[in-house]
Structure 1
Amino acid sequence: MEFVLRNTDIFDPTLAEKFETVILNESHQFEAEKVFKFIASFHVDLIKDLSSFDRFILPVSDKINKRKKSDEKDKMYDVLGFQLKQLENILMKNNIKFYSSTIQGDQLESTHIIKIEIEEDKSERVITKNSRKHQLGKVSSVVPSKLYTENLVSKLASERISELYYKIFNVIGNKKIMSEILGIDETENDNVLFQAFVKEYGELWLTTKAIENELFDKLIRKTTEVFEKYIQECEVNKDENK
């Protein structure tokens, strides 16, 4: 579900009230047994308006207000975090369950709107650690620039996947075997091999522990199968040459 709040922005002290007005009219869409994830987007250009962040009045009782006013970056995070908390309170007040909430700067069509996205969260919330099950808590995220964050994650992911690929390739040391492990036609082209690796195992960088284990198991299983095949072929050739 997507809602657009108009004639408002991230500096609006009545933002939560405007959000609640919309939610009250749509409460029938939020089934009690479901859990949702919440994203509030504002125009990313507003993070440049440092004077408006500085003028934003935070509750005196709030610990984040104790920081020095000169620290403009911290004040920006404080304001965004405060507004996210206010929006979360509206969700809880209206009995809308959520596990994750995000406030982010994005390329919207206007600086005077807030886009709200609420979708069902079907992610696994129970993990097993040391043979005991643990319920994951709620996660709140403040992302001043979605594009910057995505580019940073993409850069780190590329570096990590490259590191993993070359570590594996240096151990195997044979492009024919590497091609077979990756399930592609034999090639000497390093870029083709790398892209095939990314396609099959790119999620190793940023994923759940369960999927990470599944991908590593798949890689180990496939590598073992190929090596066992080549060992058998070598033994057959050795017997034929006797």
Structure 2
Amino acid sequence: MFGWFDSIVNGMTALMNWLYGFTNTLGLPSYGLAIILLTILIKTALYPLSKKQMHSMVMMQKIAPEVKAIQEKYKGKDPQKMQQKIMELYKENNVNPMAGCLPLLVQMPILIALYRALYAFPFKNPDHANFLWVSSLSNTGDIALALLAAITTYLQSKLTTNTQDQTQKTMLYTMPLFIGWIAYTVPAGLALYWVVFNTVGAIQQWFINKQTLQLKEGVTGVEGSRKSR
């Protein structure tokens, strides 16, 4: 029944060993470097989806005051009208509130497959399964990586969180703690993957935020110029 998922796990194992072979060719044999390369490959492959997600999250943050104003105006009066106005606002600003779901759904099988692969990984050379202070990437319970996973999750979330929204503000602090705990309980290789994934994601988000702000300022400037004529 789950033969297709075993194929993903086997494919992940083969890709990891291939990337390890690549690091060996470079004269830097390391499964840690192989995981970093794997993370960058996955992040690059997901970028088209992630870009839409990141753009929507930035715009959601920017139009949050307008959404709140609509909610307050129609609260307890006309819920259907309220939803209609909010959806119109989303459409005007090219925002898809569901944009964040697809990258997460795509990533979940990858995370589970990597977890399964690393839990009993057939290292070609176990001596190269260590990385920095980690004795083996298959071991669990690395506090430093867990802390890094929590910190990088917080930093990435900070770039898109609307702190005026109490729910988002709560998630900003609770989600990193949850991710840190998960990172502590899974193989160190998966925690390393999460740290690199968050770091690359934060860099991408910073650029997306900058581009979105410049685009919005450009549109505002053009509209202002038209109105002044």
| Fold match by TM threshold 0.5 | no
TM-score, normalization: structure 1?
0.28
Structure number with the higher strand fraction is 1
Structure number with larger C-alpha Rg: 1
Compare relative contact order (CA 8 Å, sep 6+) and give the higher one, 1 or 2.
2
Structure number with the higher helix fraction is 2
TM-score, normalization: structure 2?
0.29
